[in-house]
Chains A and B, each alone.
Chain A
Amino acid sequence: MQPSKFEYRKASTLDEAVSLGGGEADYLAGGHSLIPAMKLRLSEPSTLVDISGIGDLKGISRDGDTIKIGALTTHSEVASSGVVNDGCAALADAAGMIGDPQVRNRGTIGGNVAHADPASDYPGILVALGATIVTTGRSTAAEDFFTGLFETALGEGEIVTEVQVPATGDGTGAAYSKFFNPASRYAVVGVGAVVTKSGGTCESCRIGVTGASDHAYRATAAEEALSGSDLGDEAIAAAAAKVADGGEMMSDLSASAQYRAHLCSVMASRAISEAASRA
């Protein structure tokens, strides 16, 4: 099973990649979302512009309280990064839950967010963390970046260059919990939670959900319910029950909409509890 015919170009600089893109062309990083879609003819670009050789898009660094992850950084590199594990362990955890080792060795964070698979892990945790998606043209908050089924705010010829994640500060904890599809390891539902504590109460929180709806979303009703609470079991359960409110649940072979709504609540309870214990 191979994709339909296309032309292949390898860009060595970002400027070259931008000039080769647009129209029916698509960008290729690790290819672990795009190539399967092309094999099924769900995607048929006339040209693939391979950006995997662009050195500027690689590497992880920390600048003050911001962790900067180059778009070509693989999931396994994020999962094992000392910088990410020290500054934002929840992101490393989520990266380690993507697919399987072989997929994590090839798939990249930039390709992942640009493809915007509704069952992908990164969007849920990135929305929760308040990450910023940096492209060749601008910076966009993760919660505004994911706009629909395989749809993002990316314009034609625009390339994701970096993902910026705020390091988790004192008094703040973050966690990601997912229900795995047993075969594909995609998230049937995945929930990221960030909790900031002050004394014994929840000063503020952010909750991001993936897998449940056609794109990742912020569960604002649940965030409001949890903020100011004592983070006890009842408060967490009450907030978690509102996590499905923010999105229209998908229904497919893996899970009905009703089951997904239930999983939202269960995964949110786990993520919030873990985040609170890390705060």
Chain B
Amino acid sequence: MSLWEKITNFLSSGYTEQAAAVPDAPEAEPETSNDSLSRKENGMSYTISMTVNGTACSGDVEARTLLVDFVRDHLELTGTNVGCDTSQCGSCTIIMDGKSVKSCTTLAVQADGSDVTTIEGLATNGDLHPLQQAFWDEHGLQCGFCTPGMIMAGVGILNENPDPSEETIRHNLEGNICRCTGYQNIVKAIQSAAQSTKGAA
């Protein structure tokens, strides 16, 4: 069920009262800070720190700031894209503590203390990461919008299984949508990267 369908379900299931009440709900003023928080708190702003692409970063964010907005707007790492903004398309995929995650569905405060890698962190000293090189060699992109998310999802796939079958790759790309429908070469690129990494090891 998509979120849109969820809305229609809400509206058709006697939840109109709750939905209609939303615009009238007054914004509650924040209470004073809570001592139990490990992070410094300044009104409704929270100081967070994390390692991004090997570099220690910190920033002040609202609780509602999404991780993708922190990465793009605060750290100015705009390689990570926002596509559907509803956790379906995967163009916002980054690696957080070794796992692929959708940064449009993660709050920046949830990433406090974590180790994050974005598309900008893959290349080392000007050398493309094996997956980036494979996407180049196999022409694993058309318009390129989904590509950062596809490559980061590919990193997640190879972290879990360095030698995945074609079926495994296709199954594990189910959270990433290519609007050009260029899946064939994306799958080939991930297969190729797996092979080249295996050769190097």
Interface residues of A, Cβ cutoff 8 Å to B: 1-12, 16, 20, 24, 28, 31-32, 35-42, 44, 46, 48, 50, 52, 76, 99-103, 105-106, 117-119, 149, 181, 183-188, 211, 214, 250-254
Contact = CB atoms under 8 A, between A and B. Distances in A.
Interface stretch (B20-28, B139-147, B178-186): B20-28
Contacts of B28: 24, 46
Contacts of A10: 36-39, 109
Contacts of B16: none
A40 B105 contact: no
Interface of B: 1-10, 12-13, 15, 19, 22, 25, 27-28, 30-31, 34, 36-39, 44, 46, 62-66, 69, 85-88, 90, 93, 99-102, 105-107, 109-110, 153, 156-157, 160, 172, 174-177
A178 B5 CA distance: 18
Contacts of A106: 99, 101-102, 105-106
24 contacts: A1-B85, A2-B64, A2-B66, A4-B64, A5-B27, A9-B34, A10-B36, A32-B105, A36-B86, A36-B87, A37-B3, A44-B25, A101-B156, A102-B87, A102-B101, A103-B105, A106-B99, A119-B1, A119-B6, A181-B1, A183-B2, A185-B174, A214-B13, A252-B5
B101 A188 contact: no
A186 B66 contact: no
Contacts, number: 155
A28 B106 CA distance: 11
B64 A254 contact: no
Contacts of A31: 105-107, 110
A120 to B, nearest CB: 9
Contacts of A5: 27, 30, 44, 62-64
Given A3-B64, A31-B105, A100 B174 contact: yes
Nearest to A48: B63
A7 B1 contact: no
A106 to B, nearest CB: 5
A127 B65 CA distance: 36
Contacts of A52: 110
B100 A105 contact: yes
A185 B1 CA distance: 7
A73 to B, nearest CB: 14
A1 B104 CA distance: 9
B63 A101 contact: no
B90 A102 contact: yes
Contacts of B6: 37, 40, 42, 117, 119
Interface centre among B25, B36, B109, B176 (most CB of A within 10 A): B36
A184 B1 CA distance: 6
A102 B31 contact: no
A40 B8 contact: no
Given A36-B86, A52-B110, A184-B2, A9 B36 contact: yes
Contacts of B86: 36, 39
Contact of B15 (A40, A149, A254): A149
Contact of B109 (A8, A37, A118, A149): A8
Contacts of A251: 12
Contacts of B5: 184, 252-254
A149 to B, nearest CB: 5
B175 A99 contact: yes
B9 A252 contact: yes
B2 A50 contact: no
Contacts of B19: 42
Given A3-B64, A252-B1, A40 B7 contact: yes
A248 to B, nearest CB: 11
Given A2-B64, A4-B64, A50-B110, A184 B88 contact: yes
Nearest to B25: A44
Contacts of B88: 183-184
In order of increasing CB-CB distance, the 5 nearest A-B pairs are A100-B175, A8-B63, A119-B1, A105-B99, A186-B1
A9 B30 CA distance: 12
Given A2-B66, A119-B1, A184-B2, A32 B36 contact: no
